[in-house]
């Protein structure tokens, strides 16, 4: 069970201006359980290559508990850029954007460092010990990743992340069955990579149905049944929406797909390890996972591909035949091992994380929704809403203006993959929100390392700055005077 000691340690590790990493051994006591979370003190000299100079030898013989703040003379490798330099970038804001990415858990980094220094063999080299030892760790990580969703380790295919996995599923399955099946079903609120892949398949001659959602972001099962055709090959529905946190009824969707002999794919980048998923009970045939959404490293993810009944697909990356021939390319043992450790921790600490995130989420929602003219986007039903994603609209304020006024808090107005666009969120449009409301929405992400003090600060800061911005809004002034804005005839110049 994760405690505040680990949280404080993680924040210290990510915010320090030191050029070394000093994570010491400590013991966490939680109820009747005591767990030792050991992490060797690591400094630059552990990562530096051997130097023939006398100064380097002197540095390498120093005490293991000392903190090295300057690189040893002659070092070829240093941690000069391993942490953020506060003098250059300024004080770090409070981080509430975990839907974009989560901070790496220090225990995950601990696991990865082994493969960056000593165990550097190619896991596909089957003729010597260097390959054997890394291959063993890769398979161990595969087991950890599979256990979270109750899958067979052989059904886990490592990829570069959920975007590649979504492309792999949306394009690969229809292409394999293209001679007999030409229809795909998805939703209007999917991630951009799913929607773009679906449009790409339309260019190849496939028909795609985009299911609408209700005002809470949920699809209608009746709409799904009505959309199914004899030549439907794939249904793709996101498990937890990355902008509003709504949880789709995966078990019911899976049952409908299995009854109609249709493959069911779900983008679980925001759901994996955060909500209970059983791929067999839910009849899920393909599932997308991304490591950096679960406190693991960026650049690694996985695709769950069911073996019985077997799912066939054309690979989008070919070459050496790795990963059951579905995704060729040399695996990165540091990334895979870090991913596996992150998955192991997610499974082990899911109950604690869920309770911690739910408590802070309720406090945040209560504090922000007490502001006049605010609205929660998503579902009010706890069973169909992931608490770690809170999306709120602040009427009569531009969301971008509010973000500019909140430079001390790292937030987002929507998906990180579309943050460069000034267009209002297509997800909120699908819920029925107009441009003004969609433009005034902010997404708050609460995670494992978020503290109650940070939530208190955010509530206070947003209350103050919303009030300040509304004082400058003529629309808010008119509303305060009781004028119905819908009754006004606006004219352009």
Residues 6+ apart with CB under 8 A from 258: 264, 283
- Give which of 20, 1, 129 is closest to 81, Cα–Cα: 20
Mean pLDDT over 429-433 rounds to: 90
Of 299-303, 359-363, 385-389, 478-482, the poorest mean pLDDT is in: 478-482
Question: What residues pair up with 409 in beta bridges, in sequence order?
Answer: 94
Q: Is the pLDDT of residue 119 over 70?
A: yes
Q: Burial level of 487, CB count in 10 A (0-12/13-18/19+)?
A: exposed
* Chain centroid, CA 395 distance in Å: 28
Q: What is the pLDDT of residues 269-282, one digit of tens each?
A: 999 999 999 999 99
Q: What is the pLDDT of residues 319-340, one digit of tens each?
A: 989 999 999 999 999 999 999 9
Q: What percent of the chain has pLDDT over 70?
A: 78
Residues marked as catalytic: 417
Residues 6+ apart with CB under 8 A from 289: 145, 162, 165, 268, 269, 272, 301, 302, 303, 304
- Give which of 208, 221, 227, 283 is closest to 248, Cα–Cα: 221
User: CA 417 → CA 102, 192, 299, 372, distances in Å?
Assistant: 15, 8, 15, 31
Residues 6+ apart with CB under 8 A from 226: none
The CATH code belonging to domain 117-347 is: 3.40.640.10
Q: What is the pLDDT of residues 55-98, one digit of tens each?
A: 334 434 443 344 444 444 443 444 444 455 566 556 789 999 99
Region(s) of the chain under CATH 3.90.1150.10: 351-487
> May I ask the CATH class of domain 351-487?
alpha beta
pLDDT level of residue 422 (50, 70, 90 thresholds) = low
Look at residue 59 in the predicted model and tell me its pLDDT. 39
Look at residue 435 in the predicted model and tell me its pLDDT. 82
Q: What is the pLDDT of residues 146-175, one digit of tens each?
A: 999 999 999 999 999 999 999 999 999 999
Q: Could you tell me which residue, 48 or 111, shows the higher pLDDT?
A: 111
Q: What is the pLDDT of residues 123-154, one digit of tens each?
A: 999 999 999 999 999 999 999 999 999 999 99
Region(s) of the chain under CATH 3.40.640.10: 117-347
Residue whose structure tokens are 């690969």 = 172
- Mean pLDDT for all residues in the chain: 83
Task: Tell me the chain's radius of gyration from C-alpha atoms.
Answer: 25
Cis, bond preceding 327 (omega within 30 deg of 0): no
Look at residue 399 in the predicted model and tell me its pLDDT. 78
Residue whose structure tokens are 């994996």 = 272
């Amino acid at each position: 069970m994760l405690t505040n000691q680990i949280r404080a340690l993680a924040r210290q590790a990510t915010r320090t201006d030191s050029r070394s990493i000093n994570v010491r051994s400590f013991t966490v006591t939680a109820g009747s359980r005591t767990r030792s979370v050991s992490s060797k003190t690591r400094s630059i000299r552990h990562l530096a290559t051997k130097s023939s100079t006398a100064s380097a030898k002197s540095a390498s013989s120093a005490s293991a508990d000392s903190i090295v703040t300057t690189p040893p003379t002659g070092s070829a490798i240093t941690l000069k850029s391993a942490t953020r330099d506060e003098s250059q970038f300024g004080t770090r804001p409070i981080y509430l954007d975990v839907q974009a990415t989560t901070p790496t858990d220090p225990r995950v980094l601990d696991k990865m460092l082994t493969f960056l220094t000593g165990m550097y063999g190619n896991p596909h080299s089957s003729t010597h010990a260097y390959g054997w030892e890394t291959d063993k760790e890769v398979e161990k990580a595969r087991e950890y990743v599979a256990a979270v969703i109750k899958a067979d380790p052989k059904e886990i295919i490592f990829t570069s992340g959920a975007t590649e996995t979504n492309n792999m599923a949306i394009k690969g399955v229809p292409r394999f069955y293209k001679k007999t099946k030409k229809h795909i079903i998805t939703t209007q609120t999917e991630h951009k990579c799913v929607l773009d892949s679906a449009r790409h398949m339309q260019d190849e001659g496939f028909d795609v149905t985009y299911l609408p959602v209700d005002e809470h972001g949920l699809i209608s099962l009746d709409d799904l049944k009505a959309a199914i055709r004899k030549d439907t090959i794939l249904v793709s529905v996101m498990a937890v929406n990355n902008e509003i946190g709504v949880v789709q009824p995966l078990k019911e969707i899976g049952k409908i797909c299995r009854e109609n002999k249709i493959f069911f794919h779900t983008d679980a980048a925001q759901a994996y390890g955060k909500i209970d998923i059983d791929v067999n009970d839910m009849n899920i045939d393909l599932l997308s996972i991304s490591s950096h959404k679960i406190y693991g490293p960026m650049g690694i993810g996985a695709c769950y591909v069911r073996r019985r009944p077997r799912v066939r697909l054309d690979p989008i990356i070919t070459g050496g035949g790795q990963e059951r021939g579905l995704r060729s390319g040399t695996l990165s043992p540091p990334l895979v091992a870090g991913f596996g450790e992150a998955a192991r921790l997610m499974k082990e600490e899911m109950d604690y994380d869920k309770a911690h995130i739910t408590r802070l989420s309720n406090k945040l929602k209560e504090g922000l929704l007490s502001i006049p003219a605010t609205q929660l986007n998503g579902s009010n039903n706890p069973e169909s809403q992931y608490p770690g994603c809170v999306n709120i609209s602040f009427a009569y304020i531009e969301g971008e203006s509010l973000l500019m006024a909140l430079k001390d808090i790292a937030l987002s107005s929507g998906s990180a993959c579309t943050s460069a666009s000034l267009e209002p969120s297509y997800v909120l449009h699908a819920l029925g929100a107009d441009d003004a409301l969609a433009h005034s929405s902010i997404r708050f992400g609460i995670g494992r390392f978020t503290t109650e003090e940070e939530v208190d600060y955010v509530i206070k800061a947003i209350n103050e700055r919303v009030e300040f911005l509304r004082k400058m809004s003529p629309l808010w002034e008119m509303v305060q005077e009781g004028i119905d804005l819908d009754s006004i005839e606006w004219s352009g110049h």
